[in-house]
A and B are shown apart, each in its own frame.
Chain A
């Protein structure tokens, strides 16, 4: 488990598969047997049942393979927003489309996008959370 005690001025990623390096990027657990990629903590491979994984960096450029603009969501979720599935050089990634109006006139299937990060603000300990999305390339 990651150490949850953060200190003033530090940054934490929204999810543990977001790497906050000079070039922020996503990282997947790759099955060393069949190559299947997963973003969550694994017990075994859903494709071939093997149990060893390594880390693989995911391309930060991709194209929009599917999207929706959500205008009605649960309390606490800011709407509207554009949700999408991005094809990042063969690995599918889920994320919001950011730095673009959530408007069907501004977003299209096949659109080229790239990973971008943004601040989610600081917590009570002063740690800043960093989120990610995809912006038009």
Chain B
């Protein structure tokens, strides 16, 4: 039987614009914060995993050079928007395997003012000669000629596809999802944006890719998050206070998308999320009805809708009714993105998959202040990195 693993310490920096801090400053702040939160030091870490997509690489060693070089292995990981969850899971696997009894996972990004990301954000130029290039033998850039490579456009189509399949998903419904998350963000002092928007303001804002207007898109910002993982055996040797605040990792799952018709035409973010959710619920021995709160990957308002269904928070095809029932609001039956989600808390890519775990832990420890979900015992954190990778962590409050 593999070792149970716990989160001993975890923290996130304020998300937003940190003009006076570089990537290593932000990562160090989060890492030292997580170590202090867990009451441990770098000297006790047996492994480290770190993620940073937009920097020059090797961020793990750069962090060590600032906060502690002890010779432990570092895994620098990259998995698009699931990078943070991948770093966390890398440390969890090491501890579960018994190779180390404690480890540190860090995710960090500097993205403020970055604009469109990925292939859809790169300038396009045609050559002087129509010469075929690449796997499609394209004689010119296909972005904008054969569909869109932009993330807002890709995820817009993903939401619209759900509407085509099940009906009821229109511009106003997607805008109302965004209205919820922006309303939730007003209680989160670490969110990049904590302004409440009216439905009219959201629908009337700049259109990016119909039906996603600007406030319906995740906010590029700077930020970092870090977590200390500990084995159950080691945890039992620590103080009662450390044991009381520790949060159990009941499931840590990472999936990629299995081949399905159309998955190489429009990314299929559904199948791999549904597979990850099934595995997570089975590993944790809990069901979606047991969840007191969920942080899911609302990179765009159109994405949040499909993940209600993929995470089985509602019957298949029932995401529109689930939202309309009020269930995902913070006073509803399954609060979703009480942090404000990526649309308002912000999305510093590599930090996101640890920051959403921090949000869950914050509630399970009863430390979430004004936005505390009272009596929260079980939560789920989900991320999707397009390409694709899906990370799900199910977390449970300590019984101690």
* Chain A residues close to B by CB (< 8 Å): 1-2, 4, 6, 12-17, 36-41, 46-47, 64-79, 81, 83-85, 90-96, 104, 109-110, 120, 123-125, 127, 129, 131-132
Evaluate contact between B207 and A94: CB separation under 8 angstroms. Answer: no
Identify the closest chain B residue to A37 (Cβ). B261
Evaluate contact between A73 and B163: CB separation under 8 angstroms. Answer: no
Q: How large is the interface on B (under 10, 10 to 19, 20 to 34, 35 or more residues)?
A: 35 or more
The residue from A36, A68, A72 contacting B160, defined by CB atoms under 8 A apart: A68
Evaluate contact between B157 and A72: CB separation under 8 angstroms. Answer: no
Known contacts A12-B130, A15-B138; is-contact A69 B161 (Cβ 8 Å): no
CB distance from A54 to the nearest CB of B (A): 18
Known contacts A14-B145, A40-B264, A125-B129; is-contact A72 B164 (Cβ 8 Å): no
A39 to B135, CA, bound (A): 9
* Chain B residues close to A by CB (< 8 Å): 116, 120-132, 135-150, 152-153, 156-158, 160-161, 163-164, 171, 206-212, 259, 261-262, 264-266
CB distance from B317 to the nearest CB of A (A): 15
CB distance from B301 to the nearest CB of A (A): 13
The 10 A-B pairs of least Cβ separation, nearest first, read A16-B137, A76-B124, A92-B262, A77-B144, A68-B156, A66-B161, A40-B135, A69-B210, A83-B147, A83-B148
Evaluate contact between A94 and B147: CB separation under 8 angstroms. Answer: yes
For chain A, what secondary structure do more than half of its interface residues adopt (helix, strand, loop), or is it mixed?
A: loop
Known contacts A72-B206, A95-B146, A104-B210; is-contact A39 B136 (Cβ 8 Å): yes
Known contacts A72-B209, A93-B265; is-contact A84 B147 (Cβ 8 Å): yes
Most chain B CB atoms below 10 A, which of A15, A37, A75: A15
Complex interface: chain B residues within 8 A of A109 (CB): 160, 163-164
Identify the closest chain A residue to B122 (Cβ). A74
Known contacts A73-B120, A94-B265, A120-B140; is-contact A15 B146 (Cβ 8 Å): yes
Evaluate contact between A66 and B135: CB separation under 8 angstroms. Answer: no
Identify the closest chain B residue to A12 (Cβ). B130
CB distance from B24 to the nearest CB of A (A): 29
Identify the closest chain A residue to B131 (Cβ). A4
Evaluate contact between B137 and A2: CB separation under 8 angstroms. Answer: yes
Known contacts A40-B135, A93-B265, A123-B128; is-contact A72 B208 (Cβ 8 Å): yes
Evaluate contact between A73 and B144: CB separation under 8 angstroms. Answer: yes
Evaluate contact between A72 and B150: CB separation under 8 angstroms. Answer: yes
Complex interface: chain A residues within 8 A of B145 (CB): 14, 96, 120, 131
The residue from A1, A13, A70, A123 contacting B148, defined by CB atoms under 8 A apart: A70
A20 to B159, CA, bound (A): 33
The contact sample of 8 A-B pairs, CB cut-off 8 A, is: A15-B142, A65-B161, A68-B210, A69-B207, A74-B124, A85-B147, A94-B265, A109-B164
Evaluate contact between B147 and A74: CB separation under 8 angstroms. Answer: no
CB distance from A103 to the nearest CB of B (A): 9
Complex interface: chain B residues within 8 A of A120 (CB): 130, 140, 145
Complex interface: chain B residues within 8 A of A110 (CB): 164
The residue from A4, A36, A66 contacting B164, defined by CB atoms under 8 A apart: A66
Evaluate contact between B136 and A71: CB separation under 8 angstroms. Answer: no
Known contacts A2-B137, A15-B142; is-contact A73 B150 (Cβ 8 Å): yes
Complex interface: chain B residues within 8 A of A36 (CB): 259, 261
A71 to B262, CA, bound (A): 24
Known contacts A12-B130, A123-B129; is-contact A71 B207 (Cβ 8 Å): yes
A12 to B126, CA, bound (A): 14
Known contacts A65-B161, A66-B164; is-contact A85 B266 (Cβ 8 Å): yes
Complex interface: chain A residues within 8 A of B124 (CB): 74-77
Evaluate contact between B130 and A127: CB separation under 8 angstroms. Answer: yes
Evaluate contact between A123 and B141: CB separation under 8 angstroms. Answer: no
A129 to B147, CA, bound (A): 17
Evaluate contact between B140 and A94: CB separation under 8 angstroms. Answer: no
Identify the closest chain A residue to B217 (Cβ). A72
Complex interface: chain A residues within 8 A of B262 (CB): 85, 92
CB distance from A95 to the nearest CB of B (A): 6
Evaluate contact between A68 and B157: CB separation under 8 angstroms. Answer: yes
The residue from A14, A17, A40, A90 contacting B139, defined by CB atoms under 8 A apart: A14
Evaluate contact between A95 and B209: CB separation under 8 angstroms. Answer: no
CB distance from B167 to the nearest CB of A (A): 9
A125 to B132, CA, bound (A): 14
